[in-house]
């Protein structure tokens, strides 16, 4: 059989011994054309015939070329020139032979790339999933609903259970040739293009399959590339799904306005009945909503919905689904919407908790409820306290959590309806002296004690020369007094002594994840930005003596012993923890946080950033850890507000109402009866005029009283504090530093 085929290629007819070339032929024919060549038996054996004997010579390709050069019976003289590989014509001939193979390979590669892209971009299972997050209701810890967010969705419809007039209404207005095309309708596309070019009324042109591809897999951008992808995905869906499956998935996910997705949810929302029981007029009105749901929603634009329904009826008549008499007799349906919208779609706490709530709720079409850690009573207290605070144009944030990180109250601004920006979780501001907590924690970790002394004199050397508030300095003071007075120079000296790495590492251990520059001593004074939430969680780590504390909005199961051992939290020694709490308590009892003192033991620290741009107080009492921040959104300075003033008083007012009923422990009296008397609980009052000569009185937060006056034209400051009566030269208003 091989000999026959090669001979046929060579001669184009039966070979004869008289005409057959002998020089280079691969097979030599020894007998003339005979009966053996005419033998058509299938059992022909090359080894049994004497007429075909293979030789050890190469095929005669020249003879083949001679046969190939015959065109329309005219013999063209063959080119006997043999071209070698170094000659250009040799490679030109090879290129001609391969161009078809290259094109085929390119087409195959493009096909496989498109299929791979479709498999990744448009998995068929995605068309079975809801295209919008389903409705979820957040509950407070006591079960009180606090917010409801997400789309109103229903379970997918079963096409076989729907009345014919339901599917006919959608097919008539959206895709009359749905069962006759392969995903893209050339007629509809042509009509849409002509309407756009001619300036006529706009037409969609997209088939139901294209619409399913668009709202399931693509964005609503009106671009040519998006349209091309839409067509490819439509072909892909048509290739793998039946028409009934495509229509069913389309009806189950289409948007009908009022944040309602799917035919089942729309039927219940607008007519309070299941889609299997829809009347013809109700189905016609629903079918008309899909083109522009927000514009035609009958709950808000009933007249528009009726006009659109007339178009649907006319389309059904044109498609043969209705007669003209039936269309004229079809009434307009009455809307029966019973959807309850009694909850806000968002609050500061709900916006923060919602992403995690989605993960906990899982997928699906049905609405779900998730219980949070929010304490509705404490949230109401926080709202009242913030409302009663005299903030002026400034904004506020408040976070309250348990020692284990459960957030029980959150205020992200004065008014959520005017600004949804959450200043408790999203705003990164300078914490001021509240960051000194980590400097003192690093000092205790290094073996220092509250009674150790540190230089509190002005820093005269070096490139960074911070000043104390009011430029009040002294000789060596204890670490406890330096923390209570919020001494800037002591904090920077301690920072340099410990090393910036030790302080930054301690902040990281307590959960501060915001960037902190290395080698910058101003970090000790709180110049690196943090969120109020992470700062409050760090103080919760001190309160619980377990760090880091991760703030969370949903109850968590207690870890088993193995998980606890594997993720063992950090903690201080009991002596170091007692020392840190002693200094935090001193800062409240006789330091800058005096305005936050309570009738129960409480601990905290004030903070004021450069130029009074941020004012904070963070502290804890009982089982609550609370942080308060006040500032302007444009980062402009606050007029006369410091951390020990308004933020401390807001913190105190919240705590008094939150834990007042459970407070049982009184503040102990000083052990030394000769010691200093505790200062009165008075607010921070500045620049109280005394006379017409410019004399003014300033009551500092737990640090004494200062009178600014002039004697014979010389400005003086007379100060009375724990150190006695001190007279200093006066200073101008511009020299006054912000108060910590």
Domain end point (choices 42, 75, 108)? 75
Residues shown for the chain = 740
- The predicted structure's pLDDT at residue 325: 95
Whether 459 and 540 map to the same domain: the answer is yes
Q: Average per-residue pLDDT in the chain?
A: 82
Domain end point (choices 75, 95, 119)? 75
Whether 56 and 192 map to the same domain: the answer is no
Q: Is 714 helix (H, G, I), strand (E, B) or coil?
A: strand
User: Does the pLDDT value for residue 667 go beyond 60?
Assistant: no
CATH of the domain at 202: 1.10.3810.10
Rg (C-alpha) for the chain, rounded Å, is: 43
Mean pLDDT calculated for residue range 577-587: 97
Whether 595 and 702 map to the same domain: the answer is no
- The predicted structure's pLDDT at residue 463: 84
- The predicted structure's pLDDT at residue 243: 95
- Residue 266 domain-assigned (yes or no): yes
- The predicted structure's pLDDT at residue 724: 61
Mean pLDDT calculated for residue range 410-417: 96
Q: Is 696 exposed, middle or buried (0-12, 13-18, 19+ CB in 10 A)?
A: middle
Output the CA angle 658-645-691, nearest 5 degrees.
140
pLDDT > 90 in the chain, percent: 55
Tokens 């870890």 found at: 559
User: Does the pLDDT value for residue 249 go beyond 60?
Assistant: yes
pTM: 0.70
Q: Is 530 helix (H, G, I), strand (E, B) or coil?
A: strand
Whether 495 and 532 map to the same domain: the answer is yes
Give the separation between CA 38 and CA 49, rounded to whole angstroms. Answer: 13
H or E, element range at 321:
none
pLDDT digits 0-9 by tens, 293-335: 999 999 999 999 999 999 999 999 999 999 999 999 999 999 9
Mean pLDDT calculated for residue range 234-248: 92
User: Does the pLDDT value for residue 691 go beyond 60?
Assistant: no
Whether 542 and 631 map to the same domain: the answer is yes
- Partners of 614 in the β-ladder: 631
583-593: buried (b, 16+ CB within 10 Å) or exposed (e) per residue? bbbbbbbbbbb
pLDDT band at 34 (very low <50, low <70, confident <90, very high): very low
Tokens 């596309």 found at: 189
User: Does the pLDDT value for residue 214 go beyond 70?
Assistant: yes
Whether 411 and 489 map to the same domain: the answer is yes
Residue 353 — left, alpha, or beta (φ > 0 → left; ψ -120 to 50 → alpha)? alpha
Give the separation between CA 293 and CA 601, rounded to whole angstroms. Answer: 59
- Residue 99 domain-assigned (yes or no): no
pLDDT band at 673 (very low <50, low <70, confident <90, very high): very low
- The predicted structure's pLDDT at residue 129: 73
- The predicted structure's pLDDT at residue 560: 67
Mean pLDDT calculated for residue range 266-270: 96
Q: Which of 27-36, 192-201, 450-459, 618-627 has the lowest mean pLDDT?
A: 27-36
Mean pLDDT calculated for residue range 500-526: 95
pLDDT band at 47 (very low <50, low <70, confident <90, very high): very low
Mean pLDDT calculated for residue range 695-703: 60
Count of CB atoms within 10 A of residue 550's CB? Answer: 13
- The predicted structure's pLDDT at residue 561: 67
- Residue 294 domain-assigned (yes or no): yes
Domain end point (choices 75, 96, 121)? 75
pLDDT band at 18 (very low <50, low <70, confident <90, very high): very low
Q: Which range marks the domain in which residue 295 is found?
A: 136-329
User: Does the pLDDT value for residue 474 go beyond 80?
Assistant: yes
Tokens 């003596």 found at: 545
Please indicate whether residue 108 or residue 491 has the higher confidence score (pLDDT). Answer: 491
User: Does the pLDDT value for residue 669 go beyond 70?
Assistant: no
86-105: buried (b, 16+ CB within 10 Å) or exposed (e) per residue? eeeeeeeeeeeeeeeeeeee
Whether 268 and 306 map to the same domain: the answer is yes
Whether 283 and 417 map to the same domain: the answer is no
pLDDT band at 717 (very low <50, low <70, confident <90, very high): confident
H or E, element range at 412:
none
Which residues, other chains included, contact 552 with Cβ-Cβ below 8 Å and sequence gap of 6+?
356, 373, 405, 406, 407
- Sheet of 704-711: strand order equals 685-689, 696-700, 704-711, 714-721, 724-729
Mean pLDDT calculated for residue range 66-72: 52
- Residue 673 domain-assigned (yes or no): no
Whether 189 and 292 map to the same domain: the answer is yes
User: Does the pLDDT value for residue 598 go beyond 70?
Assistant: yes
Whether 495 and 579 map to the same domain: the answer is yes
CATH of the domain at 515: 3.40.710.10
Give the separation between CA 590 and CA 677, rounded to whole angstroms. Answer: 9
Give the separation between CA 52 and CA 54, rounded to whole angstroms. Answer: 6
Whether 315 and 463 map to the same domain: the answer is no
Give the separation between CA 719 and CA 699, rounded to whole angstroms. Answer: 10
First and final CA of the chain: distance in angstroms?
104
Whether 309 and 388 map to the same domain: the answer is no
Count of CB atoms within 10 A of residue 689's CB? Answer: 10
């Amino acid at each position: 059989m091989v000999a026959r085929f090669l001979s046929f290629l060579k001669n184009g007819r039966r070979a004869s011994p008289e005409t057959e070339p002998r020089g280079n032929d691969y097979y030599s024919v020894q007998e003339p054309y005979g009966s053996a060549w005419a033998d058509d038996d299938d059992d022909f054996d090359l080894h049994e015939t004497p007429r075909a004997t293979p030789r050890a010579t190469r095929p005669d390709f020249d003879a083949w070329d001679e046969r190939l050069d015959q065109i329309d019976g005219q013999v063209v003289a063959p080119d006997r020139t043999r071209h070698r590989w170094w000659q250009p014509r040799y490679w030109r001939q090879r290129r001609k032979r391969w161009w078809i193979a290259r094109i085929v390979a390119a087409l195959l590669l493009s096909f496989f790339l498109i299929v791979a892209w479709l498999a990744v971009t448009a998995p068929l299972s995605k068309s079975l999933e809801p295209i919008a997050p389903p409705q979820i209701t957040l509950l407070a810890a006591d079960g009180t609903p606090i917010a409801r967010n997400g789309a109103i969705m229903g379970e997918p419809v079963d096409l076989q259970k729907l009345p014919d007039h339901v599917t006919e209404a959608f097919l008539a207005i959206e895709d009359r040739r749905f069962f006759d095309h392969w995903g893209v309708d050339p007629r509809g596309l042509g009509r849409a293009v002509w309407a756009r070019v001619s300036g006529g009324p706009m037409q969609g042109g997209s088939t139901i399959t294209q619409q399913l591809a668009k709202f399931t897999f693509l964005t609503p951008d009106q671009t040519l590339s998006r349209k091309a992808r839409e067509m490819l995905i439509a072909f892909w869906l048509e290739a793998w799904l039946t028409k009934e499956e495509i229509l069913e998935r389309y009806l189950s996910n289409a948007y009908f306005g009022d944040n309602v997705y799917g035919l089942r949810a729309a039927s219940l929302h607008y007519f309070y009945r299941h889609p299997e029981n829809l009347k013809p007029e109700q189905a016609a009105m629903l079918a008309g909503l899909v083109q522009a749901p927000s514009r035609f929603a009958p709950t808000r634009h009933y007249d528009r919905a009726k006009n659109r329904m007339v178009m649907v009826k006319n389309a059904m008549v044109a498609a043969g689904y209705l007669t003209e008499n039936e269309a004229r007799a079809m009434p307009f349906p009455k809307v029966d919407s019973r959807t309850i919208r009694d909850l806000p779609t968002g609050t500061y706490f709900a916006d923060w908790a919602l992403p995690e709530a989605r993960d906990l709720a899982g997928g699906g079409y049905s609405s779900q409820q998730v219980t949070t850690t929010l304490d509705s009573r404490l949230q109401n207290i926080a709202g009242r306290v913030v409302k009663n605070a005299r903030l002026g144009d400034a904004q506020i944030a408040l976070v309250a959590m348990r020692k284990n990180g459960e957030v029980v109250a959150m205020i992200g601004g004065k008014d959520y309806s005017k600004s949804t920006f959450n200043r408790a979780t999203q705003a990164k501001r300078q914490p001021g002296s509240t960051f000194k907590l980590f400097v003192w924690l690093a000092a205790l970790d290094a073996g220092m004690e509250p009674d150790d002394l540190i230089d509190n004199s002005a820093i005269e050397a070096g490139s960074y020369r911070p000043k104390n508030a009011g430029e009040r300095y002294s000789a060596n003071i204890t670490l406890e007094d330096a923390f209570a007075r919020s001494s800037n120079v002591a904090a920077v000296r301690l920072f340099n002594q410990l090393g910036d790495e030790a302080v930054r590492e301690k902040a990281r251990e307590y959960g501060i994840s915001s960037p902190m520059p290395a080698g910058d001593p101003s970090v000790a004074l709180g110049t690196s930005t943090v969120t109020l939430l992470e700062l409050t969680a760090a103080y919760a780590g001190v309160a619980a003596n377990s760090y880091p504390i991760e703030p969370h909005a949903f109850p968590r199961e207690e870890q088993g012993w193995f998980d606890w051992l594997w993720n063992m939290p950090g903690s201080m020694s009991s002596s170091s923890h007692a020392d840190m709490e002693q200094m935090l308590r001193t800062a409240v009892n006789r330091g800058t946080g005096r305005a936050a003192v309570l009738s129960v033991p409480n601990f905290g620290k004030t903070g004021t950033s450069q130029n009074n741009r941020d004012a904070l107080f963070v502290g804890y009492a009982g089982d609550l850890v609370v942080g308060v921040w006040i500032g302007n959104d444009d980062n402009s300075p606050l007029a006369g507000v410091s951390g020990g003033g308004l933020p401390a008083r807001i913190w105190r007012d919240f705590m008094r109402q939150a834990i007042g009923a459970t407070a049982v422990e009184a503040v102990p009296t000083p052990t030394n009866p000769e010691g200093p008397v505790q200062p009165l609980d008075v607010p921070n009052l500045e620049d109280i005029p005394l006379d017409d000569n410019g004399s003014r009185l300033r009551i500092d937060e737990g640090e004494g009283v200062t009178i600014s006056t002039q004697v014979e034209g010389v400005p003086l400051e007379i100060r009375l504090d724990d150190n006695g009566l001190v007279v200093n030269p006066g200073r101008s208003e511009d020299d006054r530093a912000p108060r910590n």
